[in-house]
Structure formats: structure tokens, C-alpha cells
Structure 1
Amino acid sequence: MTSAGGAIRVVRFTGEQMRARLDDLARLRIAVFRAWPYLYEGSLEYERRYIARYVQARTGTIVVALDGETVVGASTALALDEEADYVRAPFVRAGMDTAEIFYFGESVLLPQYRGHGIGVKFFEEREAAARGFGYPLCCFCGVQRPDDHPMKPADYVPLDAFWGKRGYVKRPDLVASFSWRDIGDAAETPKPMIYWMKDLRA
């Protein structure tokens, strides 16, 4: 994809390389996650803390899409055993070895840059990071909203087909609970997050 500033670059950062981009990434997450299905009422302070974890983690990885020097998309990943207890919980309950799994945190991309292969590149780069760190399995999770939710757009198309095409299998038996504040709400509420997994050895 190209823009007025030239070709969009997708770059994988690790560790300290990410530190200079923290505020850009924080603002991007807030902007993109306000939309359905996340409806996320974020704050810059929280986002800075959240993203800083990837700088500090041994396996922390952020893949960034740049239009010139402007961050227009980002995708995060790190080893599941470096994640919080509530992220690991479904795998622990299932008796799975979290030391073999690489966790993809999220992908966020401004709407005008979608449909040009950047999302595919985000998966390829994170899978390459997982292999580079020696992890045979990778996973991510997506929020499960009620079908009759009043804020669901009439034209909404879930990403299930896209994820399936990338080789990921939905795991309804692996469900976590994440909490955040929805737009217009006064307090955080828990949401079910269903995992998808891929065996990188296949």
C-alpha cells in the first residue's frame, strides 16, 4: 500500500526500540478500540502503563505500521507465561503448558489503512517472533458481545473468516474474562474473551 507520503512500512520492534513510540501506540489503541466490538473508554495514562510491559518483557514484541513517520497501526505479542494471571487462566485450567505458547495481544489499524494486507503482515511478523523465541504455539483472544447489543452496527462483519484463513482455530473451551470501561459507563465490567490458537509446526 502507498500513501501521499510513500509506501506503508511494517516494522517489528523489540525491547527498548519500542520506548520512543509509547505515546503514539497509546493514542492509537484508544482511537481504534472505541469502535465496535470493544467500545473501549481508554485513558492515556493506562495505555502508557499497558504498552510499557512489552518494553520490559523478555519476549515483548510490537509490530508497527508507519505512513512516513506516523504510526497508523500496531500489533503486540509476548510469551504467554509473561502475561497476567487472568490472561493465562483458561490454559492453566485446561492443564496446558503456558511455556509453549506465544500470546498475541491485539492488532489496531486506522480504518483508512484496512484492506491492504497490513493485518496479514501483522500476523506474519508476530508468528516470526514466536518462532524466533522458540514457541511452537500461538494464540490470541477476541471479545464475545451479545448479538442483540444495542451498539452493534447493522453491517458488522466479524473477523472469524480472516482468522481461520490464517490457520487459527477457535477454542470455545478457552475463555478468559477481561475487564474495561465501555464508552459511557461509569465503571469497568467483565467481558468474555474467546481464544483462537495455531500450531506453528503444522
Structure 2
Amino acid sequence: MSVSLLYVSGVELQAWIDDLARLRIQVFREYPYLYQGSAAYERQYLQTYTGSGAAMAILAIDDCLPPGQQVIGASTGIPMGYEDAAFRQPFERAGMNTSRLFYCAESVLLPAYRGQGIYRGFFAGREKHARSQGCFDALCFCAVVRPPQHPLKPADYRPLDKVWQHFGYRPCPDLITHYDWQDIDQDAASAHPMMFWMKSL
């Protein structure tokens, strides 16, 4: 497979919203997110990024695929000050200055392309962008926390904790937020605990 990484930021993101929505719906349907996505929700969610003018993304592109399917992965980021209050509040309660934090929103990659170093490019690209701004002290992201015996947990599931630690991020069990979405086995949205991970710049 031949995959290239494309850096986009600011208003450039608008042209890639459909691809980001498609990938989020497809990848986050997997465990542990089990996200029952919809195009309408995605348009609303991604408005935070397109409307801010301060967001960025690293796009993984396979030019051998048909148009509309060539973006096979993406990793996004935005200054924490532009994020929803639910993401800012754990840091604000801890007395931290959210204007000094860069939020690494998501990294989504189709299964066939995993294990080829693309994920490493995602992390490196976001960190390079954050450093280039000259105004951030740390990067962070959050991940859903599921009970160990969740009924939809695959037998071969491997958490990404060791991968994140390899890239220099540390878990922050005191920094927890809750975010609502509908699980694929549920009839309505519910709150999900999400723990932050951080890395100093």
C-alpha cells in the first residue's frame, strides 16, 4: 500500500468534512466507542473545527482508491480553548490554563491500514503543528473508559494504552469528562466517561 500524509489547517478543513465524518462513523462504530453515528450529528460536531479557523488535520490518503474513498485515515487537533465546555471543565477545575493546551481530538484509521506506521505520522504531525504555534505547554486527548467485562468487547481486543505511552503520553485519572452518544446496542444516547492523557511540549 502507498499512503501519503497531507497536512491541512484552518479554512482548508472545510473541503474534507465529508471524509472526516465518514471515517468517524465507520471507525468509532468499533469497540470501545460503539458509536451509532449519523451524518447530521457529524456536521454539528465538526462545525467546532471548521468554524474555529484554528483547527488542523493530518489526512492519510490512498490515491489508488476511487474518489470519495481515498482518505483512509485522519487525525485532528484544535486549541483547547475552542473545544466544548465538557472537555475544558476537568482542566479548569484543576486550575489549569486551557489556553496553553492543544487538544488532539481523534485519530481514525481504517483497519486494513493499521500497523504500517501511519499512526506515528498522525502523532508527529499534530505535535509539530502544536510546537509551531509557540503558545502551548502540553498536548492532550481523551479516551472512553469501558468496564473490563463489557458484553461487546471483542475477545482479541487490545487497548492502545501502551502505544500512547510509547509516544510519551501519560494517563491522568484525575482528569475525567463525560460525553453523550448513542451506543450501537442502545436505543438512546447516554453519558460516557472519558479519561485524558497528556504530554508536555
Q: Same fold (TM over 0.5)?
A: yes
Cα separation, 2, equivalents of 1:173 and 1:12: 33
Equivalent residue number for residue 169 of structure 1: 170
- Tell me the alpha carbon deviations over residues 171-199 of structure 1, each in whole angstroms, 9 at most, x when there is no partner: 00100111100003121111110000000
Within 5 A, what are the aligned runs for 1:147-186? Answer: 147-186=148-187
Equivalent position SS for 1:197: strand
**Residue-pair matches, total:** 195
CA contact (8 A) 2:48 2:82 kept: no
Cα separation, 1, equivalents of 2:120 and 2:12: 22
CA contact (8 A) 2:179 2:192 kept: yes
Fraction of identical pairs, as percent: 47
2:31 is equivalent to residue 36 of structure 1:
yes
Cα separation, 2, equivalents of 1:96 and 1:24: 34
Equivalent residue number for residue 142 of structure 1: 143
> Of 51, 60, 66, which aligns to 1:56?
51
Cα separation, 2, equivalents of 1:92 and 1:169: 19
2:106 is equivalent to residue 111 of structure 1:
no
CA contact (8 A) 2:48 2:83 kept: no
Equivalent position SS for 1:151: coil
* 1:56 CA drift (Å): 1.9
Equivalent position SS for 2:180: strand
* 1:58 CA drift (Å): 3.5
2:117 is equivalent to residue 122 of structure 1:
no
* 1:50 CA drift (Å): 1.7
Equivalent residue number for residue 101 of structure 1: 101
Equivalent position SS for 1:27: helix
Q: Which runs of 4+ in 1 moved over 4 A?
A: none
Which has the larger displacement, 128-137 or 158-167?
Answer: 128-137
* 1:155 CA drift (Å): 1.1
Equivalent residue number for residue 21 of structure 1: 16
- Tell me the alpha carbon deviations over residues 138-191 of structure 1, each in whole angstroms, 9 at most, x when there is no partner: 000100000011000111111010000100011001001111000031211111
Normalising by the residue count of structure 2, what TM-score does the alignment of the two structures yield?
A: 0.94
Equivalent residue number for residue 187 of structure 1: 188
- Give the gaps of 5 or more residues in structure 1: none
The residue identity in structure 1 corresponding to 2:39 is L
CA contact (8 A) 1:59 1:133 kept: no
